[in-house]
């Protein structure tokens, strides 16, 4: 049997299931209830945040309202088909193959001609006693000019039974003439905590064991996109190593082990130059480039800065509980202002390293400087290659 990816198997089928987009779901439901259903909508947002899912659910609510519990029925004169027929429609809509809910991919060139034809057919009434003919056009900004023109023409005077839901990751590329005919909804990037929560549920249903660390790391790497996080989880599951752990993920992606990074910062905080250099060497020997080394260190410092500034329970801190506690302990050695300077120093040296014939030496020197932060000269002076002025607030005693 072929494997269906998690992102497809776990597509939301009801308004409530579209995580993180509750305000949009609420507005759409209200629109149905009050009968103020727009002719055209523009859904914008990063990939994998629920635009297509929401579009299908909205289409389902319009054409098969009986299949959604507590969903208001669009007012107006229309006799909806019996419930079993609506149920069949709903299944087809959610699978993307209902005849009256037409999905067009603006990005794939081949279908642009089709798109033109399909949109051209908008004036024909919906089939099978369906109420609306709904066009879901994905990546609408990629449509060819001819397709756009056809779309515009139809959108100017749409037949009463036609609705458009345009989706895009790049709203600024959608013609102003199209935008002005749409009601626009901006889908937000999903917070890691919500992604982690969903991943946990999915894994539970899949009966797959995973450590919280691994789940949080996958959630964070999703960068606000649920689909990206689910795809990464697919890859992690494909390793066949259970329970899934941060270590397996790090190996898979060639990321440095978190403990090593944590250990490095600990050595720096303790002002232990020897250990700082040993930990630095361990990370580099593990195979990461100097540039990535700084990326990783900066990210860790950022986490500590967030903990120092906002407290460990802040939702800005995207870590599993254990890792959160550990970060809180580590953050006690620093204050937020000090970390700002450390990040600035790292960033600066990272840039210099790109031009240097001996980046490793610059890296080691920077690490010694950070370990010596307390005794160190003002960072801005150091950055200019200058003197020993009195900056000493990076680490707390
Ligand atoms: N907000 C969300 N809540 C739950 N799952 C989501 C969400 N956004 C995306 N997904 C997951 O990602 C997959 C693709 O989502 P989709 O709606 O096609 O995103 P988009 O159209 O924004 O690229 C869905 O099948 C679902 O598994
Ligand atoms: Mg989509």
Which atom from ligand 1 is nearest to the alpha carbon of 198? 4
Q: What is the pTM of this model?
A: 0.87
Q: How far apart are CA 367 and CA 245, in angstroms?
A: 29
For residues 344 and 351, the answer to whether their CB atoms sit within 8 Å is no
Report the pLDDT value the prediction gives residue 111, as an integer from 0 to 100: 64
For residues 21 and 54, the answer to whether their CB atoms sit within 8 Å is yes
Which atom from ligand 1 is nearest to the alpha carbon of 56? 17
- 321 by Cβ neighbours in 10 Å (0-12 / 13-18 / 19+) ranks as exposed
Q: 192-253 sits in which CATH class?
A: mainly alpha
Ligand nearest to the CA of 22: 1
Instruction: Report the residue count for the chain.
Output: 397
Pocket of ligand 1 (CB under 6 A): 7-8, 10-12, 18-21, 45, 47-53, 167, 190, 198, 226-227, 230
| Span(s) in the chain for CATH 3.40.50.300 | 6-186
Could you tell me if residue 36 is left (phi over 0), alpha (psi between -120 and 50 degrees) or otherwise beta?
beta
| Span(s) in the chain for CATH 1.20.272.10 | 258-383
Mean pLDDT for the stretch of residues 137-143: 90
Domain at 258-383: CATH code: 1.20.272.10
Give the tokens for residue 271.
């002002």
Report the pLDDT value the prediction gives residue 164, as an integer from 0 to 100: 95
Q: How far apart are CA 54 and CA 377, in angstroms?
A: 55
At 322-356, the pLDDT tens digits run 999 999 999 998 888 889 999 999 999 999 999 99
The candidate with the shortest Cα–Cα distance to 249, out of 261, 267, 237, 260, is 237
- Please give the distance, rounded to the nearest whole angstrom, from the Cα atom of residue 6 to the centre of ligand 2: 15
Report the pLDDT value the prediction gives residue 96, as an integer from 0 to 100: 87
Report the pLDDT value the prediction gives residue 386, as an integer from 0 to 100: 44
Report the pLDDT value the prediction gives residue 128, as an integer from 0 to 100: 84
Does residue 213 have a cis bond before it (omega within 30 degrees)?
Answer: no
Domain at 6-186: CATH code: 3.40.50.300
At 218-230, the pLDDT tens digits run 999 999 999 999 9
| Span(s) in the chain for CATH 1.10.8.60 | 192-253
In the numeric block, the tokens 């909804």 are attached to 185
């Amino acid at each position: 049997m072929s494997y269906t990816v998690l992102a497809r198997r776990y597509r939301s089928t009801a308004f409530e299931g579209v995580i993180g987009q509750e305000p949009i779901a609420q507005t759409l439901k209200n629109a149905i209830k009050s009968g103020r259903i727009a002719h055209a909508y523009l859904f914008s947002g990063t990939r994998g945040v629920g635009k297509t899912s929401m579009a299908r659910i909205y289409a389902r609510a319009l054409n098969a309202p009986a299949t959604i519990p507590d969903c208001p029925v669009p007012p107006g004169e229309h006799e909806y088909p019996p419930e079993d027929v609506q149920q069949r429609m709903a299944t087809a809509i959610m699978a993307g193959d209902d005849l009256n809910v037409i999905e067009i991919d603006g990005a794939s060139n081949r279908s642009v001609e089709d798109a033109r034809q399909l949109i051209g057919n908008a004036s024909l009434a919906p089939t099978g006693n369906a109420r609306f003919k709904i066009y879901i056009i994905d990546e609408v900004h990629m449509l060819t000019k001819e397709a756009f023109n056809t779309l515009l023409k139809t959108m100017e005077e749409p037949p009463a039974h036609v609705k458009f839901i345009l989706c895009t990751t790049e709203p600024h590329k959608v013609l102003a003439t199209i935008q002005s005919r749409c009601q626009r909804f901006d889908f937000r990037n999903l917070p890691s905590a919500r992604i982690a929560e969903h991943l946990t549920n999915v894994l539970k249903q899949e009966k797959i064991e995973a450590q919280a660390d691994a789940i949080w790391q996958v959630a964070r790497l999703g960068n606000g996109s649920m689909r990206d996080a689910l795809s990464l989880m697919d890859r992690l599951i494909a390793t066949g190593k259970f329970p899934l752990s941060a270590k397996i993920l790090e190996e898979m992606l060639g990321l440095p082990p978190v403990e090593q990074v944590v250990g490095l910062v600990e050595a720096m905080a303790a002002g232990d130059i020897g250990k700082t250099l040993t930990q630095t060497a361990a990370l580099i020997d593990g195979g990461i480039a100097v540039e990535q080394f700084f990326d990783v260190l900066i990210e860790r410092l950022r986490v500590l800065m967030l903990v120092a500034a906002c407290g460990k329970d802040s939702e800005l801190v995207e870590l599993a509980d254990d890792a959160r506690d550990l970060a809180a302990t580590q953050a006690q050695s620093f204050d937020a202002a000090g970390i700002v300077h450390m990040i600035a120093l790292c960033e600066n040296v990272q840039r210099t390293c790109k031009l240097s014939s001996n980046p490793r030496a610059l890296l080691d020197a920077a690490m010694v400087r950070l370990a010596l932060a307390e005794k160190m000269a003002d960072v801005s002076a150091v950055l200019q290659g200058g003197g020993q002025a009195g900056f000493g607030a990076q680490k707390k005693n």
